[in-house]
């Protein structure tokens, strides 16, 4: 949790900008709620290194150097973060840490030692401008660079959180999933894709909520890559900034909390309204985000208007969130069975609305009227008679062809007739994953019958046992992969991270 300058200021900042926002974290009380790391992004350095090969701060932005800023941030009781790049130049064209263009010695260890001497607590390593020599693959070069930076940070004798941007440079390619399998070996959090939309000084009131929904769309299906100590980073919290109304700001906070995503603010903190600060400092929501179980929410159901999410918590409670993506107010009435609890159970829920912070009430259904672009969120404690919810919800696939940067254009749902379709939120799109790996919907199971998937009566048969891999393949007993062809399903030889074979299951 913390603050970064990029989404609001880009390169338009100075040391004073950083310190003003650091002071604002303390003044607004946000720091007391956990936002404790202040990070400088790109453009802080010069384009060239000094005679000893060290990075040099831009003297116009940092007349007293970076260490003076780090010391001032630490004096406020906060941590200090900095940006570099794994390539020979940063994305802004400044000196990078990576191998020079054409080959040579990298600067990962030298820069790590410099950062440690400045008191850096957090490093964001971007992925622009990596030199790829002949005979090497792009992915192998990225892996070597991030491994080198990880090793360098371990050598300098100062604990420094490592944020990796590598996956974002492979989004939409088969290599994306390869990178997502190895970043956990080197850092604590990573960006997977497109940046959230930046503040535009020429159009400050232009809506940015579509960008928030897009980052949510591609991040949510990646829960299988996340575990405590390794976090999918859906990018900055821009709630409260220009282009985000209060309902949209609430939605971003709730959705990021349901995904256990890092909460890194990126706005002009001095200009946040009291209402926005109230949203960002909501301890009940922050507690959901920071829950030590670290699980990402399951997509229970997705309709053209709403998403329903369920997240297990470490104390046996659950968080439930309902996102209204539509332009009109929507009413919701959720029974425990809709969340995966046994349908025949006499189930009551001790429920607290996390926005109103009202006293917990015992209810048999969750009911709400949700404004356009808003998200309702509750913490629920099921009665012992409820039993435990099954592992159930939507099974999604990245839509075939060139997708639009939207939830509707990105995701399709597996439906019980044995086909993929635009997500409609119907019962045939709700699946239960059994302990044996069976995929069950409406009392029938997806079966690899003679090499062709079909819905059949459930039984203890290997044809209904699917193995789910980290990459996202669903393999039958013969090692073939469940494949979406047009609107139908087939069993095909497993390709290399083939898009029509990558499924996202309930967590």
Contacts for 264 with CB less than 8 Å, ≥ 6 apart: 1, 2, 3, 4, 37, 39, 233, 235, 236, 237
| Upper half-sphere CA count for residue 324 (Cβ side, 13 Å) | 21
By CB atoms closer than 10 A (0-12, 13-18, 19+), residue 501 is buried
Residue 100: count of CB within 10 angstroms of its CB: 14
Strands 481-485 and 375-382: unpaired
Respond yes or no: is residue 126 known to be catalytic.
Answer: yes
Largest CA distance in the chain: 75
Q: What is the 3-state secondary structure (H, E, C) of 5-66?
A: CHHHHCCCCCHHHHHHHHHHHHHCCCHHHCCCEEECCCCCECCCCCCCCCCCECCCCCCCHH
Order of all β-strands in the sheet with 467-468? 467-468, 474-475, 481-485, 488-492, 419-422, 411-415, 396-398, 503-504
Query: Which three-class secondary structure state does DSSP give residue 380?
Result: strand
Quickly tell me which residue has 């946000």 as its tokens. Answer: 30
Backbone angles phi, psi at 79, to 5 degrees: -100, 160
Separation of alpha carbons 194 and 172, rounded Å: 10
Strand order in the sheet with 349-353: 298-302, 306-312, 318-324, 375-382, 349-353, 361-363
Q: How far apart are CA 368 and CA 323, in angstroms?
A: 11
Rounded to a whole number of angstroms, the CA Rg of the chain reads: 24
From edge to edge, which strands make up the β-sheet containing 189-191? 231-233, 189-191, 161-164, 122-126, 79-85, 37-39, 2-4, 264-265
Give the whole-angstrom CA distance, residue 178 versus residue 174: 7
What is the rounded end-to-end Cα distance, in angstroms, of the chain? 24
In this structure, the strands spanning 452-457 and 467-468 are unpaired
Roughly what angle, to the nearest 10 degrees, separates helices 209-219 and 246-258?
10
Considering the candidates 58, 71, 195, 268, report the single residue annotated as catalytic. Answer: 195
Q: Is-catalytic flag, 195?
A: yes
Q: What is the DSSP letter of 123?
A: E
The residue from 126, 291, 338, 476 that is catalytic is: 126
Instruction: Catalogue the active-site residues.
Output: 126, 195
């Amino acid at each position: 949790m913390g603050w970064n300058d990029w989404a609001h200021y880009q390169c338009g900042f100075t040391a004073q900008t950083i310190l003003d926002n650091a002071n604002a974290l303390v003044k607004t009380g946000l720091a007391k709620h956990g936002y404790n790391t202040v990070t400088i992004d790109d453009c802080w350095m010069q384009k060239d290194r000094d005679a000893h090969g060290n990075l040099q701060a831009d003297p116009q932005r940092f007349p007293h150097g970076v260490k003076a800023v780090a010391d001032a941030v630490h004096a406020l009781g906060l941590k200090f973060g900095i940006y570099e790049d794994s390539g020979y130049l940063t994305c802004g064209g400044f000196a990078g840490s990576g191998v020079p263009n054409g080959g040579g010695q990298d600067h990962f260890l030298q820069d790590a030692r410099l950062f440690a001497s400045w008191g850096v607590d957090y490093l964001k390593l971007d992925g622009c401008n990596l030199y790829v020599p002949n005979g090497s693959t792009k992915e192998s070069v990225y892996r070597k660079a991030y491994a080198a930076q990880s090793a360098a940070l371990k050598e300098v004798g100062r604990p420094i959180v490592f944020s990796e941007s590598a996956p974002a440079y492979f989004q939409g390619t088969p290599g994306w999933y390869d990178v997502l399998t190895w970043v956990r070996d080197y850092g604590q959090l990573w960006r997977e894709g497109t940046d959230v939309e930046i503040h535009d000084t020429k159009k400050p009131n232009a809506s940015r909520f579509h960008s928030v929904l897009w980052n949510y769309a591609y991040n949510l299906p990646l829960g299988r890559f996340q575990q405590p100590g390794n976090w999918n980073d859906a990018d900055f919290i821009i709630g409260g900034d220009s282009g985000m109304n209060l309902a949209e700001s609430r939605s971003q906070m709730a959705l990021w909390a349901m995904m256990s995503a890092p909460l890194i603010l990126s706005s002009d903190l001095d200009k946040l309204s009291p209402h926005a600060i109230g949203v960002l400092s909501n301890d009940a929501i922050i507690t959901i985000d920071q829950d030590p179980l670290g699980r990402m929410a399951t997509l229970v159901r997705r309709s053209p208007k709403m998403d329903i999410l369920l997240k297990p918590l470490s104390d046996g409670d659950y968080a439930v969130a309902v996102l209204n993506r539509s332009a009109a107010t929507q009413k919701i009435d959720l029974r425990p069975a809709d969340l995966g609890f046994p349908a025949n159970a006499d189930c009551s829920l001790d429920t607290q609305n996390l926005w109103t912070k009202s006293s917990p009430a015992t209810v048999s259904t969750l009911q709400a009227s949700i404004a356009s672009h808003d998200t309702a969120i509750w913490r629920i404690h099921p009665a012992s008679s409820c039993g435990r919810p099954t592992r159930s919800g939507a099974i999604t696939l990245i839509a075939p062809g060139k997708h639009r940067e939207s939830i509707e254009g990105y995701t399709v749902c597996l439906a019980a007739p044995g086909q993929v379709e635009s997500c409609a939120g119907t019962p045939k799109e709700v699946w239960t994953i059994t302990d044996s790996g069976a995929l069950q919907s409406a009392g029938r199971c997806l079966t690899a019958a003679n090499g062709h998937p079909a819905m059949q009566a459930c039984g203890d048969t290997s044809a209904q046992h699917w193995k789910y891999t980290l990459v996202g393949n669903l393999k039958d007993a013969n090692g073939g992969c469940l494949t979406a062809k047009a609107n139908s399903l087939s069993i095909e030889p497993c390709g290399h991270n083939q898009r029509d074979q990558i499924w996202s299951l309930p967590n």
